[in-house]
Chains A and B, each alone.
Chain A
């Protein structure tokens, strides 16, 4: 059974601050690790999919890394903006393609 833990549960930062969240998992028995951003009243939006140990992905000010040997992934946001406010979800792909999600990290960026 895949178990996904995310920390912190919530985070409040000032505009311009850089921040990072952690996703941890006890086993590397999965196909891929996904990061999603979920803004209020919108649909969850895929940010990154990573499969290999050492993978690094970047999209604008947001980047992510994957360490399957030690069982964690980091999501970094450089120079946070108010529009980055959202819940960031980490998920692992199971054998049937379904995703097992963590509880998410809720980010609030104050102007």
Chain B
């Protein structure tokens, strides 16, 4: 399967613990995005990378959140000192940069986080 892969698919943790999610994008895609989706909401943009450079971060991304894409391939999203409000589906998507930004994003199946 050459689609976007995310793991773990589900994570249950206690408040205050750190969690890390991994995303493996489609191999030739140079852009990678992280989104968060909570109940009743659409996916909300968190951050994106072009190759290894993190080009934009949403104000939703507090200082407890950090994302990396060290070699321009896979990416990790770490949440430190988790809070119950962090419970959500974390979606990763990738795309190929185009001259005009009309290209579709290809999503993974998401990593569902539950903070107890």
The residue from A44, A46, A89, A98 contacting B45, defined by CB atoms under 8 A apart: A98
Residues of A within 8 A of B40 (CB): 103
Interface: B102 (CB within 8 A): yes
Q: Known: A98-B33, A98-B56. Is A32-B41 also a contact (CB below 8 A)?
A: no
Residue of A nearest to B45 (CB): A98
Question: Would you give the 0/1 interface string for B98-116, flagging 1 where the beta carbon is closer than 8 Å to chain A?
Answer: 1011111111111000000
Residues of B within 8 A of A49 (CB): 102-104
Q: Which of A89, A91, A97 has the most CB of B within 10 A?
A: A97
Residues of A within 8 A of B11 (CB): none
The size class of the interface chain B forms with chain A is 20 to 34
Q: Are B108 and A43 in contact (CB under 8 A)?
A: yes
Question: Would you give the 0/1 interface string for A79-111, flagging 1 where the beta carbon is closer than 8 Å to chain B?
Answer: 000000000010101111111111110000000
Interface: B95 (CB within 8 A): yes
Majority SS at the chain B contact face: loop
Q: Are A96 and B56 in contact (CB under 8 A)?
A: yes
Q: Say how far A48's CB is from chain B's closest CB, in angstroms.
A: 9
Interface: A42 (CB within 8 A): yes
Q: Are A101 and B105 in contact (CB under 8 A)?
A: no
Q: Say how far A92's CB is from chain B's closest CB, in angstroms.
A: 10
Residues of B within 8 A of A101 (CB): 35, 42-44
Task: Please measure, in the bound complex, the distance between the C-alpha atom of A96 and the C-alpha atom of B108, giving whole angstroms.
Answer: 20
Interface: B48 (CB within 8 A): yes
Per the 8 Å Cβ criterion, residues 26-83 of A in contact with B are: 31-32, 34, 36, 41-46, 49, 51
Q: Say how far B40's CB is from chain A's closest CB, in angstroms.
A: 7
On A, residues with C-beta under 8 Å from B are 4, 6, 31-32, 34, 36, 41-46, 49, 51, 89, 91, 93-104
Chosen A-B contacts, 5 in total, with CB atoms closer than 8 Å, are: A42-B109, A91-B42, A93-B101, A96-B48, A96-B55
On B, residues with C-beta under 8 Å from A are 3-4, 31, 33, 35, 40-45, 48, 55-56, 91, 95, 97-98, 100-110
